[in-house]
Structure 1
Amino acid sequence: MATEVAMDKRGKREGNISHAFTSFSGKKSNPLPDRYRILKQNLTKGREEAIQKSWDDLIEHLKERTDEVASKREKIIPVIRFSDIANGTVPESVIADVRRTGVAVVRGVMDRSKTEKLLADCREYLEGNPHSGFPTDAKKKVVYETYWSPSQIKARTDPNMLRTQAFMNQMFKAAPGQKVDLSIPLAYCDRIQIRPPGDKHFALTPHVDAGSVERWEDKAYNSVYRKIFEGKWREFDPWDLTGRIEAVMDMYNGAGGSSVFRTFQGWLGLSEHGPHQGTLVTHPILGPSTAYWLLRPFFQPTRASSLDGWKFSPEEPNGDTILHGANPGTAQEHTPGYHPHLRLEETMIPYPVVEPGDTVFWSTDTIHGTENDNLGPNDACVFYIPSTPLTEGNIKYISRQRDALRAGTPPPDFPGGSGEYAFRGRGSVKDIASEEGRLALGFKPFPVKGNDVQVALAQRANEILGFQSY
């Protein structure tokens, strides 16, 4: 039976988080096929002069922004209190800071003692069952390919967590008639991290998720960045949903590829940890940095080791076609050699100290990674829980994810296998913590109310989930 369950993974092979990265998994970054050379030509044809001027302006702007980040460090990361979300009193200045940086910490989303109990129960679940994860050859993992512990289900469906996600979703702006309801969060089920003191294995290089070559290759996805490719980077709005909902982010069925539109990636802190303690690091310069790494494949230095005088030149000196860290089926990676103007050695900033029950979020265009090791005294423990709004594509995924929860197999976007099918104490529908959580996981019909878009989406969601209209 376990073999039959594993076969129903729609092509996802067994694996772990390392397989989502070219460098981390030991794969080689080879030149791209010739179609990418033609794609680069088509994206910029007739706009070469405008793109050169835009690039020159962008480089000057990045000098200022990278100086600011290098100076302020983690003080630049906006902090929100959950009580302000609940009361509708989050200052507009803080919202503006989130939109400027692409990142946020939300304090006090869950009660500390409640969160610590979830971690204790989760440890018991992991100790009582065989498990896979990263590192592959270690008895104790750092990132567990575990999705259905009762603790994870309770955390994802906690009403405060869902309210926080709805708030984060609404950082984005939808055009009239665009088929999205940002007020309704869905639960995208992800992994567990327990990074022990001294760990050097889980050192993720700077990268962005939600696709790699797809941002150039998929027509809907590259339309998100149309202003950048037109030579108007200052007009690019990273919070405009136009194109994002229709974008195909996993064209190559990658081991870590997300087929779901997430507004933010995120996690719930389960233990106290912060800088130098194995935490997340981000590059909090959202719009300009996105413009930079999307335009980088079209520019070459005119002088060795110089950050000035780069010229529009889509062809590599050796004739190869590359997208500077983007490869089919893995995450988009960033390096000081490929992306020198980002000053990554100085501007990958650790999040401030988080307490159990705090959450952190980062836009899916935000460059992020992890510290090279955990120098602290505690395990750095988190549940990965992103923000995911209601769209038709997302609800189709939720329907398949609901089947995986029932079966105990990995969710559709993740590496395959029988997963937790035979695990003792595996979580189930009974562990859902709220009625909002039942909605978010697809176990309750959506109320048909609101404006025309919300009504149509709710009706379509109920149809996909097998519910009659309500």
Structure 2
Amino acid sequence: MANNPSATAPEFGPLPPRFAELKREIIASYPDFEARVTKAWGEILTELDKVTKEIAAQGSSNVPEVNFSELGSLSQERANEIRNKGCVVVRDVVDDAEARTWQGWLRDYVAKNLVDGFPEGDKQFFQLYWTKSQIKARSHPNLLATTTWLNKMYHTKDGEKLEGIDLDTPLMYADRFRIRKPGVQWDAHPPHVDGGGIERWEDEAFRQCFDDIFNGNWREHDPYDLKNRVFAKSSIYGRPNQKSSKATVFRTYQGWLALSETAPNEGTLQVFPNIMLSNPYMIMRPFFAPKEGAQPDSFDPNDWQFDSMSPDFHGIYSYGKAFVGPRPNTKTHPHLRLDETMVSVPKVYPGDMVFWHSDVIHAVEKQHVGKEDSTVMYIPAMPYTAINAAYIEKQKKSFLEGVAPPDFPRNLGEAQCVGVGNADDIQSPIGRRAMGFAIEVA
């Protein structure tokens, strides 16, 4: 999860005029674009008017919950629910006592060492990657079995076997952790989508992930189709907190491991739990504007007109020489009704995990009204691909040197920290492979 500035920050600006050309390039790339997409836009508005009301009424129960022990025998119906909603809570991945031990080690680590984090005066989100707790968690067999199960949600629509991709072999992307205190306002993570912004339209491979949407066949869109996903560039401009100018890894799901109890209103994750609708809507949104005199939140298709002239890609903003987003809100994407449909995930306990597809709109609650620190480690699901394996090899070097991984800015480093993890803390053969200690780089 990136540390992004608020969408209301003054540094954010409109997109430059050249993006109107990108819009027209896309229009010219698909036959009968205007007619097909206009018809689809009307269908999506009708569907969103119904579904958003249902999401708002059901709240946290929208988010599927399964136990780790169920993964091997989960029915097709429940698996499809997870696919369609794009999010899931997996219970009891790690034993409660072990998770609590890791929480204690993290607290000791930040207490005993000079560490990077924010907010500056009262650090709670830590730019730390190599604590013993993190190494133990990333190499836990149950955790890797869970990410493997999630990786295998992906496929190719036409059944083609893609060379150099093995969904049965999990790799482990090193990320950070938070220890969020009660009572602290948290404004850094309003609704957003990670894993690519304007690149979803501008990068050719990324754009092809949404071909069915651009062809007007939005119901056939499959966010789990690997064919172009593994080659899509998610950062062609570079962003804050992202050192590389190109996509370095492909993650099937983002996720975190709970090391404490965290309930709704206690600083937990929020999601829009319907990826099959949010994807088509967000991808089509730049091509439509309300007609003069129409309400900007109207669900009536007749109140909207096709827009091929403006440079707007709603929710994408200029930020210095780069761009950030998508960061949808009630003004840019009114039909999502985000003030009602960003639902909090159900209460989690130590050892539970939360995962969400890389396209899912998600946020972090501003308020934490609970009594306990909310402690989570960010751990995504990542399969073996040639690009991912090459990254893991570089990440392993960073681990051994005690410096930040390749995707993150250099900082104080952890080589001299008391309690820093090392290769001996990797607790399983599958964990060693996932972290690059027994893997062949293609």
- Deviations along 1:155-190, whole A, 9 cap, x unmatched? 011000000000011111134221321111100010
Moved more, 268-277 or 27-36: 27-36
AA matched with 1:128: K
Asked if 1:74 corresponds to 2:60, the answer is: yes
Aligned to 1:125: 109
Aligned to 2:313: 323
After superposition, the Cα gap between the structure-2 partners of 1:27 and 1:427, relative to the gap in structure 1 and judged at 3 Å, is farther
CA distance in 2, matches of 1:383, 1:444: 24
Match for 2:73 among 69, 89, 99? 89
After superposition, the Cα gap between the structure-2 partners of 1:331 and 1:433, relative to the gap in structure 1 and judged at 3 Å, is farther
Identity of aligned residues (%): 38
CA distance in 1, matches of 2:51, 2:241: 31
CA distance in 2, matches of 1:217, 1:269: 36
Asked whether the equivalents of residues 206 and 228 of structure 2 are also in contact (C-alpha less than 8 Å), the reply is yes
Aligned to 1:388: 382
CA distance in 2, matches of 1:297, 1:177: 34
Pairing of 1:92-241 with structure 2 (within 5 A): 92-135=76-119, 137-138=120-121, 140-174=122-156, 175-179=159-163, 180-241=165-226
What's the secondary structure of 1:189's corresponding residue? coil
AA matched with 1:356: P
Asked whether the equivalents of residues 44 and 230 of structure 1 are also in contact (C-alpha less than 8 Å), the reply is no
Asked if 1:427 corresponds to 2:421, the answer is: yes
AA matched with 2:68: F
What's the secondary structure of 2:228's corresponding residue? coil
CA distance in 2, matches of 1:64, 1:34: 35
Aligned to 2:50: 64
Question: Unpaired runs of 5+ in structure 2?
Answer: none
CA distance in 1, matches of 2:111, 2:297: 53
CA distance in 1, matches of 2:129, 2:14: 35
The TM-score with structure 1 as length reference comes to: 0.87
Aligned to 1:263: 252
CA distance in 1, matches of 2:194, 2:52: 22
CA distance in 2, matches of 1:17, 1:241: 23
What's the secondary structure of 2:99's corresponding residue? helix
AA matched with 1:188: Y
CA distance in 2, matches of 1:250, 1:334: 19
AA matched with 1:72: Q
Aligned to 2:398: 404
Match for 2:352 among 354, 358, 365? 358
CA distance in 2, matches of 1:349, 1:92: 24
Asked whether the equivalents of residues 21 and 330 of structure 1 are also in contact (C-alpha less than 8 Å), the reply is no
After superposition, the Cα gap between the structure-2 partners of 1:391 and 1:238, relative to the gap in structure 1 and judged at 3 Å, is same
CA distance in 2, matches of 1:29, 1:312: 26
Match for 1:304 among 271, 279, 295? 295
Aligned to 1:451: none
Match for 1:285 among 274, 278, 300? 274
CA distance in 2, matches of 1:106, 1:428: 28
After superposition, the Cα gap between the structure-2 partners of 1:268 and 1:253, relative to the gap in structure 1 and judged at 3 Å, is same
CA distance in 1, matches of 2:410, 2:235: 16
The TM-score with structure 2 as length reference comes to: 0.92
CA distance in 2, matches of 1:81, 1:189: 24
4+ runs deviating over 6 angstroms: none
- Deviations along 1:216-235, whole A, 9 cap, x unmatched? 11000000001111222111
Asked whether the equivalents of residues 299 and 313 of structure 1 are also in contact (C-alpha less than 8 Å), the reply is yes
CA distance in 2, matches of 1:291, 1:391: 27
- Deviations along 1:101-154, whole A, 9 cap, x unmatched? 00000000000000000110111111111111221x22x322100110010010
- Deviations along 1:6-62, whole A, 9 cap, x unmatched? xxxxxxxxxx953x34627x3523232343211111112341111100100011011
Moved more, 369-378 or 37-46: 37-46
What's the secondary structure of 2:107's corresponding residue? helix
AA matched with 1:182: L
CA distance in 1, matches of 2:344, 2:308: 34
Asked whether the equivalents of residues 255 and 413 of structure 1 are also in contact (C-alpha less than 8 Å), the reply is no
Cα-Cα RMSD: 1.6
Aligned to 1:250: 235
Asked whether the equivalents of residues 116 and 411 of structure 2 are also in contact (C-alpha less than 8 Å), the reply is no
After superposition, the Cα gap between the structure-2 partners of 1:202 and 1:126, relative to the gap in structure 1 and judged at 3 Å, is farther
Asked if 1:333 corresponds to 2:327, the answer is: yes
CA distance in 1, matches of 2:222, 2:268: 29
CA distance in 2, matches of 1:410, 1:203: 21
Asked whether the equivalents of residues 79 and 94 of structure 1 are also in contact (C-alpha less than 8 Å), the reply is no
- Deviations along 1:243-296, whole A, 9 cap, x unmatched? 000101111222344631100000000000110110000000101111111111
AA matched with 1:441: M
After superposition, the Cα gap between the structure-2 partners of 1:463 and 1:276, relative to the gap in structure 1 and judged at 3 Å, is closer
What's the secondary structure of 2:354's corresponding residue? strand
CA distance in 1, matches of 2:162, 2:17: 35
CA distance in 2, matches of 1:206, 1:383: 20
* Paired residue total: 423
CA distance in 2, matches of 1:333, 1:121: 35
CA distance in 2, matches of 1:209, 1:164: 21
Q: Kindly state the Cα deviation for residue 311 of structure 1 after the two structures are TM-superposed.
A: 1.4
CA distance in 2, matches of 1:38, 1:162: 44
What's the secondary structure of 2:395's corresponding residue? helix
Moved more, 169-178 or 428-437: 169-178
